[in-house]
Structure 1
């Protein structure tokens, strides 16, 4: 399992925090949330779609937005830095994996 942090570095102000924001994600939601807790991120900062996205499948865009400070700390804790295009590839792979799952009960 791996945790990833992209290089989006999008300038924005969220509440009282201004900075450059990137996305932190992982191979699984559980791994992401455990890593985020270790990093000091609050559970309420976890982001996912509020409704189905792009299909009837569950959301595949789950992540935390992190400022440069947390991005650097995540890399120090072992997160793999990736390009923003690789983040897109991760979500595409998640969607494909969900689509490939058999429908209905298994025999």
Structure 2
């Protein structure tokens, strides 16, 4: 599984544009949180290669890049949580969930 790293504020505009072609999945991960690690592991085990054809996955280490997490919360009007998955389509958040509510099937079905 190859997630693109979100490491720059300028990438927010890029992923908004990218979301006009196919939905963008943002996984916000806290490297200090066991629940976040568990949710990340579940996503990694569930992700299928063909899903990368239909969805564009991004990974945000929010400990290293908290300012990006804050900007995402503001840009897409989604309250910050960790771990958190946000799906962006046509420049808008169309799905978000956090902690044990993160559901792979829901995430991949958002694009259809």
TM-score normalised per structure 2: 0.29
Greater C-alpha radius of gyration:
1
Higher normalized contact order (CA 8 Å, seq sep 6+, divided by chain length) = 2
TM-score normalised per structure 1: 0.30
